[in-house]
Structure 1
Amino acid sequence: MAVTHVVTFTWVEGTSTDTVAGILAALQEWIDRKEGLDGLESWQAGSDIGVNEGNAAFAVSATFTDRDAYLRYRDHPEHKRIIAEQIAPLIAARSAVQFDH
């Protein structure tokens, strides 16, 4: 059964669009290398387009062939490095869900 992971972030005040672009670039470069990401079916990320008030500022959505493929992504050292170095220091709020389908 496929698993989709969706995570949203709201950044701390003062986080620049350049900083967010750097986060997106780091994530995309890692995804594009596909190293250790067997079972990743799709991956998208980006900043909110500002249509609705109260939305998070940034989201990632990824679909995997199964739960094990999601866990490999979640626990991948490069993923953890990007989170620790670039994302975690800027998080004001975070929400995530993983669901089977």
Structure 2
Amino acid sequence: MAVTHVVTFSWVEGTSAATVEGILANLQEWIDRKEGLEGLTAWQAGPDLGVNEGNASFAVSASFTDRDAYLRYRDHPEHKKIIAEQIAPLIAARSAVQFEH
């Protein structure tokens, strides 16, 4: 079965739009290389539009051919590096879900 991963973040106060744009650019550059990401079928990410009050600040949605493809993405060294160095220090809140379809 296919798997979709959705994660949302709220950033700590004072996180600039430029910082978020840099994170998004680094994630996209990694995704675009497709190295070690066999089974990734769709990937989108971006900041919240600000349409609804109370939303998270940023979201990532990724779809995979199966659970193993998701795990390769989750455990990819570059993914872990971007999270550890750029995302984790700025997270005020995080929520995620993976579901099969």
TM-score under structure 2 length normalisation: 1.00
Q: Which residue of 1 aligns with 2:98?
A: 98
Map of 1:8-87 to 2, 5 A cutoff?
Answer: 8-87=8-87
RMSD: 0.2
Aligned length in residues: 101
Letter of the 1:68 counterpart: D
- Measured in 2, the distance between the counterparts of 1:81 and 1:16 equals 20
State the SS of the aligned residue for 1:49: coil
Q: 1:12 deviation in Å? A: 0.1
Runs of 4+ displaced beyond 4 Å: none
Measured in 2, the distance between the counterparts of 1:27 and 1:72 equals 15
Distance 1:93 1:67 in 2: 25
**Cα deviation 1:53-81 (Å, max 9, x = unaligned):** 00000000000000000000000000000
Q: Which amino acid aligns with 1:70?
A: Y
Secondary structure in structure 2 of the residue aligned to 1:43: strand
Specify the code of the residue in structure 2 equivalent to 1:8: T
- Three-state SS of the structure 2 residue aligned to 1:53 is coil
Structure 1, unaligned runs of 5 or more? none
Q: CA deviation at 1:48?
A: 0.2
| Identical positions, percent | 86
Q: What are structure 2's unaligned runs of at least 5 residues?
A: none
> Which residue is 2:4 aligned to?
4
